[in-house]
Copies of this chain bind each other. A is one copy, B any other.
Amino acid sequence: MSWNTFGRVLRFTTWGESHGPALGVVVDGCPPGLELTEEHIQPFLDARKPGQNRFTTQRREADEVLILSGTFEGRTTGTPISLMIENTDQRSKDYSEVAKAYRPGHADYTYDAKYGFRDYRGGGRSSARETAARVAAGAIARLVIPEVTITGWTEAIGPHAINYDRFDRDAIGANPFFCPDPEAANAWEGVIDETRKAGSSLGATVACEARGVPAGWGAPIYAKLDSEIAAAMMTINATKGVEIGDGFAAARASGEANADSMSPGGGGAVDFASNHSGGTAGGISTGQPVTCRVAFKPTSSILTPVDTITTEGEATRISTKGRHDPCVGIRGVPVVEAMMALVLADQKLLHRAQCG
Contacts and interface: CB of A to CB of B under 8 A. Distances in A.
24 contacts: A3-B223, A5-B13, A15-B69, A16-B68, A20-B69, A22-B82, A72-B119, A78-B115, A102-B262, A104-B259, A104-B272, A109-B262, A110-B216, A113-B214, A113-B215, A113-B287, A202-B254, A227-B232, A240-B277, A255-B304, A261-B307, A262-B308, A352-B352, A352-B353
A117 B75 contact: yes
B222 A4 contact: yes
A204 B251 CA distance: 5
Contacts of A297: 246, 250-251, 253, 258, 276-277
B222 A22 contact: no
B300 A79 contact: no
User: Which 9 pairs show the lowest CB-CB distances between chains A and B?
Assistant: A107-B282, A241-B247, A3-B223, A1-B350, A201-B255, A231-B231, A110-B284, A113-B215, A353-B353
B256 A200 contact: yes
A181 interface: no
Interface in A321-351: 329, 347, 349-351
Band of interface residues on A: 35 or more
A244 interface: yes
B69 A23 contact: yes
Nearest to A201: B255
A28 B8 contact: no
